[in-house]
Amino acid sequence: MKKVFAIVLSIIMTMSVMLGCSNDKKETPPASQQTKTVQSAETVSNQQSAANQKNEKIKVKDKQEKKQYGQQQGANQSQPAPDSTAKVAVEKGKAYTDKDHVAAYIHVYKTLPPNYITKGQANKLGWKTKGTLDKVAPGKSIGGDRFGNYEKILPDKPGRTWKECDIDYVRGNRNAKRICFSNDGLIYYSGSHYRDFERLY
């Protein structure tokens, strides 16, 4: 009886050992599968690292662009806005008689071109006695005298004064074209001897 019990016990133990070993084999993956798993984990880790680096680069680039934009905005704010540019190019000290260039000259240099003289200056040269301006002052035009603006056709406010000048005068009698300009930068043109005006600046 003891022998039978010993045999049965040894059979049970042998079978349990065999079953345990077979379970271990099933649970332990082969080496190649383990390698693949490790490689997959490393690949995922590398991809995450690359993505993080890319995100960091994008953040740095965004910061740099924002900084540059801020610097540009600051520069724009620190510089005073220039006057609106003249519609045509003019050169200081050069003579002009047409509407566009005379207006641009006044706008840029705050004075008339040098070919303009006042009525008083022309009279001293004999303008009233000799007739037309070109006879006493060739190449000159009348300009720089006060314009009263008595009819208030032009904008009026306390402290604002106006001056006038002839436009397109070359020789002979003066025509009806005038520019009127104020001491605070307004410039108007009239082609009808002050009946109506067009703002130029």
Q: What are 3-14's pLDDT values in tens digits? A: 656 666 667 766
Would residue 164 show up in a list of annotated catalytic residues for this protein?
A: yes
Tell me 82's DSSP state: P
Same domain, yes or no: 104 and 191: yes
Residue 86, in any domain of the structure: no
Rg (CA), the chain: 48
Would residue 107 show up in a list of annotated catalytic residues for this protein?
A: no
pTM of the predicted model, to two decimals?
A: 0.57
Residue span of the structural domain in which 127 resides: 99-199
Same domain, yes or no: 105 and 190: yes
Distance, CA of 172 to CA of 132 (rounded, Å): 5
- Confidence band of 87 (pLDDT split at 50, 70, 90): confident
- Name the catalytic one among 42, 56, 91, 193: 193
- Confidence band of 46 (pLDDT split at 50, 70, 90): low
Average pLDDT estimate for 131-139: 94
Same domain, yes or no: 57 and 114: no
Q: Which amino acid is at 178?
A: R
